[in-house]
Each structure stands twice: as C-alpha cells, then as structure tokens.
Structure 1
Amino acid sequence: MALIYTLGIAIDSPKTPLAQEHTATQQQPSRPLLLQDAVSASTLTSAAVALSTVLTSHRVTHAFFGGWAVIAKGADRESKDLDVLVKGEKDEIVNLLTNDIKGLKGEDVGTWMVIPQARNDYVAFFWKPHAASSEMVLVELFIGPKTKIPPTVMLQVDMVHTVPVIDTPSLFRGKLAACASRSKPNDCADVVFLATTYSSQLPSDAIKKIDTKVIGMAVKKYPELIESLEGLGISTRKAIKKVGSCDSLSSNSSGFSISGRMNEGEVQRGLFC
C-alpha cells in the first residue's frame, strides 16, 4: 500500500515550510529553452495536480521527481518547472494533453501547449491554469512505454489532492547523480536537505546500492556534501579514491555522458544509480 505524506511533511521529519523553487537550468542541445523566472509554489502545485488528474483518469502510470518533488517534501527553495516520469507512448500523451480535456470527474485541468521536440523519451509542455493566465509552468515528461519508475509514495500537496512522487531513496539517488554530472547549486542543497531531514528514510541497504563513482564525483564537485553523506554512513574518502583524477563520469557509468549532453534515458538511469 502506498505511503501518504500529509502537506509535504513526513511524519518522522521536522516541519519545514513549503516554498517555491528556482533552478538555474543549463541549456542542453537536446532540450528546449526553459523559462527564466521562478513560478509561485501554488501555481507549480496546481500544474502538478492538473497533470496527475489527467494521467490518473486515463490510468497512465507516472511519478514526479526533481526539484519540485523536493519542495513538496518541505525544502525551502524555488523552481520554474516540473519533472515527471511517465510510462506510455509519447504520441498518445501528447494527443491526450492537447485535446479539450477534463478530469475524470469534470475537473478543470488548464490548458497545455506542446513544445516541439524530436527525442523519443522526452516531451515538454507549457501549462497555464486558463487561457488568459500570465503564469506558465514548464512541464517536462520523461516518457516511454518501458520507462522504469522507482517506488512511489502518494504525497499530499494541498488540502485536497495527493500526487505520486518517487520515494526518498530514489529522489536522493537522482539528486546525487545530478550533482555528479552537472553544476547546479540547488542539486547540492537538495542532497543536504534529504540527507539531514529524511535520514530515517535512507536506510543503509538503500545507501549501499548507490554507485560509488557517482558519490565520488558528486563530492569532488561539491565538497560541502561530505558532512551530510558521512552522516549517512557513506565513506566519501573511499568514493573520491574510486574516481581518482577523473573530472566526469564515463558514458557507461550510471548513464551519464562525458560531454554533459543529456542522452536518451539518462535522467531515468540516474534515479537507479
């Protein structure tokens, strides 16, 4: 049975205010240009609820991850987009969201504009609560009929709605993998937040499954991670020794490319590093 978190705060964790998220996103050749301004937390949540309402109504398996998922668990930072794993055919999801849609019970789920994208495992949309709205949310779907989705929990994101979010160990692995492969300070802050606030949900057996090279590269990029990772029982010295003088992960290590360009399936693989 899925776990349920109330108002983004786990029962065994100290209460942390739900806030906005801002991610300074690097431009990737294979991804669209992202919005430059942070979006209000309430608008991000509305977009997440709208998407989940539609996908759930059509029995499409999905789960949120990334920065907004960390915010929904209580992190105090900003964002401008949503990251979602979706198990389904890309064309079918595009048709579903760009038609005149309603939720299963007739809920208003806003308007969706697809952003042209050639990749098979990725599609992005701009979501607006209504056509005249000045606020837009970039919603990025990492998609495919064989997409692996980690274990999920149902997270209560407002007084009424819950949405599926990948569990804490998977979220932690994904953020650590992001630290190892790119330079975004929010990734480091997210790892520290999860390691300190949700340490009880990061048992030793889950920690042992993390690729030592990923840990080593993350610590080389962000030495400030050492204290939090050591607190989880991770030997950062051993991990750093494992990667030696390398300054990037190889293309066959946890799915990350030497060039920094995002390969197909790379984001999904990072959640299982």
Structure 2
Amino acid sequence: MRQNRLNDAAIVLQRVFSQAGIKFGIFGGYAIGVLGGFRETKDIDCMVAASKNEVLKLLQRKDGFIAVPQKRQDYIAFLWSNRHGKEYPVLVEIFCETFPEAVFSMGKVPTVTLPIVGQAFGAGQSTFLDPVYIFRGKLQAAGQRGRYHDAADLRWLEQRFRKSLRQSKCLFNIQDVGLAMARYPELEPLFERLGINTLAASLTVDGLDLKAGLGCGVGNVQKGILAPANFFRLASALLLMIH
C-alpha cells in the first residue's frame, strides 16, 4: 500500500486521540518507514493508553473506522477509509494499555510527533513511539516469528540509532535477544555492538522450542514494549539461575 495512504490514516488517528486527550504511539514497520527506512507495509500498529471499550466508543463507525470483530481484550483492529464504499481500507491494529491482566503503563514511554504527508489530507502529523521502544517491539517480534523483515528492521534501527540504543540496552529483554539470535544468527554482532551479553542471552533460550508459539498471548506486545528495565533484569536473573 502507498505510504501516503497510510499517512492519511495516521493523521486521523492523531486528530482523534489528541482531541480525546488519550496518549498513543505508532510503532512497527510503518513507523520505520516514516523514520526513513526502506520499508513497505499494509498496516499501522499503535499502542494506546486506553481500554478496548474506550477505543471502540471513540472510533467505531466514526471518522472512517470500522472494527474487525475479535474477542481479545488487549487488542482491537479497525479498517479505515475516507472513501465512499470504504475502498482501499487501511488496517489499523491497536494494542490497549488497559485490559483485565494489564500490569504495564505508557505513562513514562517517550513519544515523538513527526510530520507526514497524506494522499487526501496533505501535510499533517502523527505520534510515534521513541525509536528505542520501536526497537523493543521489533526485537520481540523477531524472537516470536519467522519473518525476514523483522531482522532487516532491527538492522536498520541499529544503524540509524546505535548510540541511543546502546545507552538504553537495559530496556531490552535478554530472552527476546536470545530468541531473535536463535532465529537469525546473523544478528549476534548487532547485539554485541549494543553491549548486550549475547552468551547470557543464548543461555536463556537453551532448549526452547521455537515452534511453540512463545509469547503470543494476551498482553505480550504490551510487555515487550512497556515493561520497565527492572522487570527484565529480574526475569533475566531468574532464567540464568535456572540454566
């Protein structure tokens, strides 16, 4: 899908959530494209500081959004289009901060507002997670699924934001690092450049079945992006004690 068509949907998200006073941040492949990466995608992923019901009340059948029915309480997807008959819809996937088992918050997660140009709306803007947190989301994705673009996205982010990523290495889940290296061994030098203990990361996933759908449950994306550094330090210490 053309980037400027996705930009239109992101501009609408900015308008709706800012008017409602709700914090949100876009991440994933679309965000990487806006930051300057050579990345094509068909959807927009965003984290929203609200519950599924709050998002539904705000967006359902308004401003071009139509919800895609599903049962999860931490996630909701919409098809957005500003065209008659809803042609060429954009898939918008929203991960909610608030759900019954939620333990992490967007409160201290930095975001940045960037200019974008839409196909229909022209010059506008939208809000994105800080690149460090976009990297966290991509790191988790790389460990959970076999999609080449996840590894490519990590490489681009590391090249573009190496200094800030290295300074923030305590925010990265060492088990996610181990899982990402197990799927993409060529990523090991990248993590070493960031100052991450790759040997310890490998030990945390020793014996795990990569086909078992690790970490695909409710709240997992929120944990990967929002969990504070001390959560991952404790989890890593326990994993290494087990091994």
Give the TM-score range, shorter chain: 0.7 to 0.9
Paired-residue identity, %: 31
Matches of 2:213 and 2:166, distance apart in 1? 33
Q: Which amino acid aligns with 1:137?
A: V
The match for 1:148 among 105, 109, 120 is 105
- Map 1:1-273; keep pairs closer than 5 Å: 39-100=1-62, 109=63, 111-132=64-85, 134-145=87-98, 148-149=105-106, 150-158=109-117, 160-204=123-167, 206-248=168-210, 258-260=212-214, 262-271=216-225, 272=227
Equivalent residue number for residue 29 of structure 1: none
Judge which range, 221-230 or 236-245, deviates more: 236-245
Q: Is the 8 A contact 1:217 1:247 kept in 2?
A: no
Matches of 1:268 and 1:226, distance apart in 2? 25
Normalised TM-score (structure 2): 0.81
Between Structure 1 and Structure 2, which shows a larger proportion of helix residues?
2
Q: Which amino acid aligns with 1:157?
A: I
Q: Is the 8 A contact 2:59 2:65 kept in 1?
A: yes
Report the alpha carbon displacement of residue 99 of structure 1 after superposing the two structures with TM.
Answer: 4.4
Q: Is the 8 A contact 2:166 2:195 kept in 1?
A: no
Q: Is the 8 A contact 1:89 1:143 kept in 2?
A: yes
SS at match of 2:207: coil
- Aligned pairs, number: 217
Matches of 1:208 and 1:99, distance apart in 2? 41
Q: What are the superposed Cα offsets for residues 1-29 of structure 1, whole Å, 9 maximum, x if unpaired?
A: xxxxxxxxxxxxxxxxxxxxxxxxxxxxx
> Displaced runs of 4+ in structure 1, greater than 3 A?
144-147, 258-261
Sort the Cα spacing of 1:59 and 1:248 in 2 relative to 1 into closer, same or farther, 3 A.
Answer: same
CA RMSD of aligned residues (A): 2.2
Report the alpha carbon displacement of residue 261 of structure 1 after superposing the two structures with TM.
Answer: 6.9
Q: Which amino acid aligns with 2:146?
A: S
Report the alpha carbon displacement of residue 96 of structure 1 after superposing the two structures with TM.
Answer: 2.2
SS at match of 1:160: strand
Name structure 1 gaps, 5 residues minimum: 1-38, 101-108, 250-257
Between Structure 1 and Structure 2, which shows a larger proportion of strand residues?
2
Q: Which amino acid aligns with 1:92?
A: E
Name structure 2 gaps, 5 residues minimum: 233-243
Q: Which amino acid aligns with 2:221?
A: V
Report the alpha carbon displacement of residue 124 of structure 1 after superposing the two structures with TM.
Answer: 0.8
